[in-house]
Amino acid sequence: MEKKWKLETDGGKLMVADVADFDLDHIFDCGQCFRWEKNADGSYSGIAFGKPVRISYDKDDRVLSIYGADVADFESVWRTYLDLDRDYGQIKRSLCEKDPVVGKAIEFGQGIRILNQEKWETLLSFLISQNNNIPRIKKCIHSLAETMGEKAGDFEGKTYYNLPSAERLAAASATDLAPCRLGYRAKYLIETAKQVRAHGIEALEHLGSDTVSSEEAFEALKGYCGVGPKVANCIALFALGKFDRFPIDVWVKKVMHQMYGIAEHDMSAMAEFATEAFGEYGGIAQQYLFYYITHHGA
DNA sequence: GCCCAGGAGAAGG
DNA sequence: CCTTCTCATGGG
């Protein structure tokens, strides 16, 4: 199960050999994360688990390079965060066999991987995401980190900040958050932060355990203020490892109607179809479909 | 001015 | 259970 990775370090750079089914644009520009920025050379700079890095990938020799990371960081963060131990080739073949239509989307976004993101950060991010667009979501999260978060460190000429803790956010007022331009979502952040503080952050962390079923995690997430079915599914998929969740947003509605002919507003029919057609990898299928409908021309 | 964006909550059927 | 309205903000 556990793959043995060939690692090399060179200065402040970590190199991982023989990484397949991997494309930085597909991974970082498919709407699952909001804290990575593309550089002119095609690499991406960002931060996860308090560690700012820059990541590049060479398609020809299949080498993944992480600038600012060492072997210990790879084992503690990046190996899991980038979901490197999962065989996406196998998953893609399985999905294509079950449903040739999704095969078209898989061919288009073949390098997508589902990141294993921080739970609290993902909860905040998708609270902000509702009825919002991706460029503005990124701005809001960046602003929230800079105005209320603690400094994580300097890297390649930029200062990186963590998102504010639940304690910090629970103690904040709507006025404190006003500069972040979150709109009506600000009160959801504060109320959810109070809930997390009251229940304990462990209650949220525990939802990522294998002993908690996908459905149980989904229901528990909906208990947080401002978390409905769509946001709960995103958190379960992007931070809790529940790969069968199938978040349905305006884009997925569009693609399900266009590619499968399902009635435009029939969410239950879409969810049912996803369970039937994609099963335990519904969330991965959803990301290929989302990337396809948001990026393919015409 | 209008419509839209990785929607949710409240009110009223 | 369902439907409809409202909630800030900024970009096209």
Is pTM beyond 0.85? Reply is yes
Strand B–CB A32 distance below 7 A:
yes
> Which residues of chain A are modeled with pLDDT < 50?
none
State the CB neighbour count (10 A cutoff) for residue A212.
Answer: 17
The predicted pLDDT at position A298 comes to 56
Taking Cα atoms as reference points, which of A163, A92, A112, A97 lies closest to residue A294? A112
Q: Which residues pair with A55 in a beta bridge?
A: A44, A66
The predicted pLDDT at position A29 comes to 94
Which nucleotide shows the minimum CA-to-C1' distance to residue A185? C8
Residues 6+ apart with CB under 8 A from A289: A102, A105, A252, A255, A256, A259
Q: Give me the CA A74–C1' B3 separation in Å, rounded.
A: 45
CATH 1.10.340.30 residue spans of chain A: 119-239
- Distance (Å, rounded) from C-alpha A261 to C-alpha A92? 23
The phi and psi torsions of A119 (rounded to 5 degrees) equal -70, -50
Helix (H, G, I), strand (E, B) or coil at A51: strand
The predicted pLDDT at position A245 comes to 98
Q: Give me the CA A175–C1' C7 separation in Å, rounded.
A: 17
State the CB neighbour count (10 A cutoff) for residue A253.
Answer: 18
Strand B–CB A122 distance below 7 A:
no
Beta-carbon-side half-sphere exposure of residue A143 (alpha carbons within 13 Å): 15
- Which CATH superfamily, name and number, covers A119-239? Hypothetical protein; domain 2 (1.10.340.30)
Beta-carbon-side half-sphere exposure of residue A253 (alpha carbons within 13 Å): 9
Q: Which residue is nearest to nucleotide C10 (CA to C1')?
A: A136
- Distance (Å, rounded) from C-alpha A282 to C-alpha A284? 6
* Window 180-199 of chain A: CB closer than 7 A to strand C: 181-184
The predicted pLDDT at position A215 comes to 97
Residue type, A42: G
For A255, the token pair is: 């693609």
Strand B–CB A265 distance below 7 A:
no
Q: What is the CA radius of gyration of chain A?
A: 19
DSSP per-residue string spanning A140-195: HHHHHHHHHSPEEEEETTEEEEPPPPHHHHHT--HHHHGGG--TTHHHHHHHHHHH
Strand B–CB A195 distance below 7 A:
no
CATH 3.30.310.260 residue spans of chain A: 7-85
Which nucleotide shows the minimum CA-to-C1' distance to residue A180? C9
Which nucleotide shows the minimum CA-to-C1' distance to residue A31? B6
Strand C–CB A133 distance below 7 A:
yes
The predicted pLDDT at position A196 comes to 98
The predicted pLDDT at position A1 comes to 54
Secondary structure percentages of chain A, helix, strand, coil, to 5: 50, 15, 35
Q: Contact A177/A190 with Cβ under 8 angstroms?
A: yes
Chain C bases closer than 7 angstroms to a protein Cβ:
2, 7-11
Q: Contact A241/A255 with Cβ under 8 angstroms?
A: no
The predicted pLDDT at position A225 comes to 98
Which nucleotide shows the minimum CA-to-C1' distance to residue A251? B6
Handedness of CA A16, A18, A21, A26 (dihedral sign): positive
Task: Look up the CATH number of domain A7-85.
Answer: 3.30.310.260
Residue type, A292: Y
Handedness of CA A216, A190, A249, A84 (dihedral sign): negative
Q: Give me the CA A23–C1' B6 separation in Å, rounded.
A: 21
Strand C–CB A178 distance below 7 A:
yes
Which nucleotide shows the minimum CA-to-C1' distance to residue A136? C10
Q: Give me the CA A37–C1' C7 separation in Å, rounded.
A: 30
Q: Give me the CA A297–C1' C10 separation in Å, rounded.
A: 24
